Structure formats: C-alpha cells, structure tokens
Structure 1
C-alpha cells in the first residue's frame, strides 16, 4: 500500500464506523450525510481490500481485519491529534485554547463557574465550553470529543481506560427556610422525616444523596423533585427540608435565606473527580487546566461546618 493513497480522513471515518457499528450512526457522529459515509466505506473497502463491515441479520459487524486494525488506528489518530495540538509549552497569558468539559451541575457551580471568572484575568484567550454529563461520557472522552469530565467516581466503572484525580469531598447539610417555624438550631431524624421533603436529581439521574437515604432506609415525605441547582431557591417561605453540599449551601445561604444544620444521619460526602484520557496526561495545556481546577477546588477540600 502506498501511503500517498491514504487519506487521514479515511482513518477518522474508519474509527467512527468501528465505534458506532454502522453507517448511519457514524455519519451522525461525523456530521455528514448517510450517502457520503456509504461512499467513504466503499473507499475503505478498496483501500484495505476487505469488506470492513458485513451485515449479520439486522446489524453490521466488523471483519477480523477491521477488528485487528481498530486499536492501532485509534492510537495513531490520538498521537496525530496530540502532535498537532500540543505545544512544547503553554503560556496561559498568551496562548489560545478552548477546553471542552462535561460536568455535573454541582461541579459547574462550585468549580467551573469560578474558574471561568478567573480566566478573564490570568488567561484571556482561554475559554471553557461546558455541557452536562451524558450517559456515554467515557466514550466521548476516548473519542476525543471532550477534554475532561467531572463526575462522582461512582459514575465510572472499574477498568475504564481513563485517568482520574479527586477534586473535592464536600459534606452535606440540612437546609430549610431561615424562618422555618418547626426547626430551631438542630434537627433530629423524627423531625426530618416528618417534614415535607425536596428531592433532587442531577444530570437527569437521582442525586447520590437520595440513593444514600434509600440505602439507610430513611423515609421522606417527598413533595417536590427538582434539579440540584434549583433546590436551594425553592426552600424560601416553605416548610420543605432538603440536603445540600455545605460549600454550595453556605455560598447561597444569606442571599436565599437558608438555615443550615448538621444532618441527623451519617452521610458520605459529595465526592467528585476529574477524568481524562492517557494521551492528554502530559499535554502542557491540559496539565495547566487540571492544576487550575485543583486550585479552585482547594477550599472544598477543607473541613467546613454549617456554622462556618
């Protein structure tokens, strides 16, 4: 095979076809029409002298040759991407870079928003493109669709081909309206379970604190279910009670009119980690981003109590 005949876009298309397992899904991923992807598959077949994908019933399956080439071609594309995007050094005050990050609602509020504000002064040409976590975020990372994902480590299965580092652990506090008629300076389990409860979800899933309460067998009088970010704002002038990470709750307490109390049950703190692929490990710009995130999360790693 003459390398002059190899179009790198064919290798990108090959990777998409192997990842998605079909022409239609690969076309959607590469933002091209189905006919264009079908033509690309025909070119790959001619180049490799192999069917690449063959129909088995109602689905398409890769040939043995295609399977043997999948990992080497993906690694080669990752290396090419790194060569083209990595510089010998990264100067945040001068260099241009946009980082694509998928993150939980809490990480967006607690870490990424403050970092975006900080970047205006220390890295005016660096920006963050933030989007919610989707079910296939590991695949997004390995396909280089995103630079980084910030989620609770429970969301990542054992053996996932990604690197990780814990950003913070933040304990929960009970939050109620500051003028709540039934809650004074403390709350016991009987009172907690008797009050109307505000349940939370995050990125479309049940919040981890709800899973913990279920595991502990703690009943709730759930009257409202809302996204994590809205929860503190729905407590004012109500009898509702909920559980919120202390740093987030403390940040909003005065403005929203919240009273924060120690929970009457033992709960694991909110733990969130950042995840990235191995080929980003030594990239100067990516290392700089991870350092900035750790600095922003520093206060969340400190011990915080409701009275602080």
Structure 2
C-alpha cells in the first residue's frame, strides 16, 4: 500500500495538540479554543524577551502585545516571562514550549507561503536582517529609502551580526543575514546568493605627515594601526593578513566599519577599509585611499537564508529587492 505523507495542516494540528498535551493539563478538545495568533505572539515574545520589541516585530501596539501575553499566561497557566533584574527571562515552561511552537509555526508558514501572493504596496510584513553598518550604509540605505514609498506597510529591522546568527535563522528569529562569504563558516544548511564584491584599501589622513603617494610594507607594518573588531566573526582584513604572513600589531580597535575612517583625521593611524565605503566617506572624513603593499583578494558579500523561506512570496520579494540594490551599485 502506498504511504501518503501527512499534509502540512495536519502536521501543524498534531504538533500544536502535542504542545498542549505536554503540559499535563490539556485534552484534545482544548485545541478548539486556541487562537493561533497567540502562538505567533508567543514566538515573538520568546525571541525578543521584550513586550515592546515583540510588538514592533509584529507591527502591533504595545498594549495589544501586553494583552496577548496576559492571555498566553492564562492559556498555559504560567508566567512565561519573568523579570530578572532589568531584563525578562523565560520560565522553564516557556523554554519547553519555544521549540515545538516555532516548529508548528514554521509548518504553517510554509503551507501558507505556497498558497499566497505578496503585494508590497498593501501587505503588512516585518523582516529582520543581520548586517554590518558597512552593508547598511553601502547597500541597504538607498533600498530602505525606496521601500518607504514602494512598501509602506513593510517594516525592516537591521541588527548587528551576533554569534548565534545561524541558530537565529533556524529558529525563525531573523529572515536573512549578509556577511562576506569568506567568513561564513557556521556549517548550517543555508541557501545563499552572492550580492556584490569589494576590496580592501589602505586609508590614512589626507595630510598624513609620513606617507606620500604610496605606502611601503615597512610603513604598513610599523605605523599605528586601527582595526575593526566589532563582532563574533573574524574580519576579512585580519583573515587575509594572517593568510599572507603579515603579523600586524593592532593599536586601536573600533566596533564600527563606518566610524573607522572618521577616526583617522589628525592622526598617524592607518586602517584597511572597504573601498566602496572609503570612496563614499573620503571627502567627509578627509582621508586618502592607497593600494595596500601586500596583495589582498576581493571580498564577496552574500546573503544567506533558511531553506524554509525559499518559497515564501514575501521573502522572495525581499531577496529580489536586495538583489536589485546590489546590482545598482555598479551602474
């Protein structure tokens, strides 16, 4: 006899029923009085650990999210989120529910995504991206301006890269992240697409007293060095220098790619900077860009997303708009 796999809706119904039964207080008939929107609110609250941020994520008011939390507490007969000092933390019951509820919502999102279209002119949607301030300025700034008119009900949250980025993607807490392909080493089963290339150049004060039209390797290795060190991933600059045997001592670090060129004015410092960023800020920061004295390879910025988002019309639209913004960089 041929085996017919269960439909997405059946799998979701079964998963939610199991969630409720695990509490030991529920029977199957209780599923009829569960508002699925509450499970979406639960997922947002557990991801954000904040009523305010969860409300922003779902594009609702804070009072509405507070009301959802109150209903969830009654539904599961548990506080779910409790204050620990200045932050909220999930209770053991909430932690035990987070995975199953996320899985159930993923099934529903996949099922609905195959049957719906997405109209950015009228539909409401919130996307969360992880990206550096360099990507935000060079790639996303103009796109966000365009989307304000093109998609008035779409909210895009851009956050810095964090160490658990792959896990956040798996749990559905973010929609995609953009990092250099050369440094993405999570090993997670992700889909990806190259967006644009950049390269590293030396940046110095426009009136640097010791450097002329070129910079020697000795100067590169001995002058005070400003380096980016603002995230859990190694910087492309440091990886490339190590690969070429350049043991460059670091005198000052910054947690921002964009701030680095602004710190050079009136100093003897040099830094390695993305050329696109350097050209965009050269006049404002009053810096000069020079060829490095060692050969460095290009950097490929890529976007990564979970396979479960592949067929979502809304996610497909977002990826296409990012793809178009990247293509426009070289026009």
Q: Aligned residue for 2:308?
A: 279
For residue 199 of structure 1, report the CA deviation from its aligned partner: 1.5
Correspondent of 1:247 among 254, 263, 276: 276
Correspondent of 2:174 among 146, 155, 171: 146
Q: TM-score under structure 2 normalisation?
A: 0.68
Whether the 8 Å CA contact 1:105–1:202 is kept in 2: the answer is no
Correspondent of 1:98 among 112, 123, 126: 126
Q: Aligned residue for 1:226?
A: 254
Q: Aligned residue for 2:211?
A: 183
Q: Aligned residue for 2:85?
A: none
Correspondent of 1:109 among 121, 134, 137: 137
Paired residue secondary structure (1:90): coil
More strand as a share of residues: 1
Measured in 1, the distance between the counterparts of 2:315 and 2:90 equals 33
Measured in 1, the distance between the counterparts of 2:311 and 2:92 equals 39
Q: Aligned residue for 1:20?
A: none
Change (3 A) 1:256 1:34: same
Whether the 8 Å CA contact 1:87–1:284 is kept in 2: the answer is no
Could you tell me which runs of 5 or more consecutive residues in structure 2 were left unpaired when the two chains were aligned.
1-16, 18-26, 43-79, 83-87
Measured in 1, the distance between the counterparts of 2:308 and 2:152 equals 26
Q: What root-mean-square deviation, in Å, do the aligned CA atoms of Structure 1 and Structure 2 show?
A: 3.4
Q: TM-score under structure 1 normalisation?
A: 0.73
Q: Deviations over 1:102-142 (max 9, x none)?
A: 12332222222222122122222222111111111111111
Measured in 1, the distance between the counterparts of 2:207 and 2:113 equals 55
Q: Aligned residue for 2:107?
A: 79
Change (3 A) 1:3 1:278: farther
Change (3 A) 1:3 1:164: farther
Q: Aligned residue for 2:227?
A: 199
Paired residue secondary structure (1:135): coil
Change (3 A) 1:28 1:268: farther
Whether the 8 Å CA contact 2:227–2:252 is kept in 1: the answer is yes
Whether the 8 Å CA contact 1:173–1:245 is kept in 2: the answer is yes
1:1-308 equivalent positions in 2, closer than 5 A: 4-6=29-31, 33-34=90-91, 36-37=93-94, 76-83=104-111, 88-153=116-181, 154-158=183-187, 160-227=188-255, 228-300=257-329, 302=330
Paired residue secondary structure (2:258): helix
For residue 240 of structure 1, report the CA deviation from its aligned partner: 0.8
Measured in 2, the distance between the counterparts of 1:108 and 1:247 equals 12
Measured in 1, the distance between the counterparts of 2:291 and 2:277 equals 15
Q: Aligned residue for 1:50?
A: none
Measured in 2, the distance between the counterparts of 1:99 and 1:185 equals 45
Measured in 2, the distance between the counterparts of 1:292 and 1:117 equals 12
For residue 86 of structure 1, report the CA deviation from its aligned partner: 6.9
Measured in 1, the distance between the counterparts of 2:107 and 2:288 equals 52
For residue 268 of structure 1, report the CA deviation from its aligned partner: 2.2
Whether the 8 Å CA contact 2:130–2:161 is kept in 1: the answer is yes
